[in-house]
Every structure is written in C-alpha cells, then in structure tokens.
Amino acid sequence: MASFNLNINGKTQQVDVDPSTPILWVLRDHLDLLGTKYGCGIAQCGSCTIHVGGMAVRSCQLPVSAVGNQEITTIEGLSENGDHPVQQAWLEHDVYQCGYCQAGQIMSASALLKSNPNPTDEEIEGSMNGNICRCGTYTRIKKAIKTAAANSENA
C-alpha cells in the first residue's frame, strides 16, 4: 500500500492503494467515479478511456504509480453540465445505444478534437478505431465528431 495524491477533475484526491493498481479501479472502487467503464482490461476496447495530461489513455492499463501529478479528467469532469461540444453533438445525433462504450468514445473524441480541431474522416477513423462499440454506433459517432468540430469552429 502507498498513498497517492491525484489531481482528478480539478480536485486533489488522496488514495491509499497498491502502486500497481490500474487507475480505472482507483476511479471506480475508491472514488466512486463510475462513468469510466471496464470492458476488456487489456487496452483493446477503449471503454475505460480517460484523459491524462490532456491525452486519451486506457485507464485499465495505467498503474496509479505512473500518473504522478498529471491532470486526470474523467467523463464526470469533461464539462460542468454535460455540455461539452462533443456531448452536445452526441445528443444531437442520438449516438447512444446501450451506452456502455460511450464514455470512452466521448473521451477519445474530445481528446482528438483538442489536438486536431478539424479532423478528416480518415483522421477520425484512425483516432477512434481503438474504441469498440458492440452496438455499431460508428456512423453516428463520426457524424457527431464532425458536428462537434463544426460547432467548436463557429463558437
């Protein structure tokens, strides 16, 4: 066991855990942040995606000891009122089906638009292809990312 001070969604949170604990389980089991989902546990599905230092990261494979004082953002902290441009575009295009993968999809999409505000179709596909959706919402996801990009550009 070791003590870690983590910067999560703008707040410092102290946790006492084994240093090898994946940050996914710190979020879910210790901090009750249940929006980040467990899918595969081996960095293959993207459902556990969060931002660490502004980058999309698979939280199931990131030990808490590797995070240091980097800023962590989860789906709960992406926006105060659920009104991030990506979240608004998701609603506009009715992207959700069962919803299980969608927090990870939104975290990947928002990281993409932060680094590339106007991605091409190929760039969207390249960046999102590690996020699996068993419900097959890929077409709506791509449309929503393009809408979010356009809305952010016009804002």
Q: Least separation, in Å, of the C-beta of 75 and ligand FES?
A: 14
Q: H or E stretch including 11?
A: strand 11-17
Q: Least separation, in Å, of the C-beta of 80 and ligand FES?
A: 24
* Residue 151, burial from CB neighbour count under 10 angstroms (0-12, 13-18, 19+): middle
The piece of 5-13, 44-52, 73-81, 109-117 that touches ligand FES (CB under 6 A) is: 44-52
Q: Quick one: CA dihedral 62, 148, 145, 88, positive or negative?
A: positive
The piece of 41-49, 64-72, 78-86, 144-152 that touches ligand FES (CB under 6 A) is: 41-49
Which is nearest to 66 in space by CA: 103, 35, 101, 23? 23
Helices (H), 1-155: 23-25, 85-92, 102-115, 121-128, 138-154
Contacting residue, 8, 23, 56, 101, with ligand FES by CB under 6 A: 101
Number of residues that bind ligand FES (CB under 6 A): 23
Q: Which is nearer to ligand FES, 60 or 78 (CB)?
A: 60
Regarding 35 and contact with ligand FES (CB under 6 A), the answer is: no
Tell me which residues touch ligand FES (CB under 6 A): 38-41, 43-48, 58, 60, 96-102, 133-135, 137
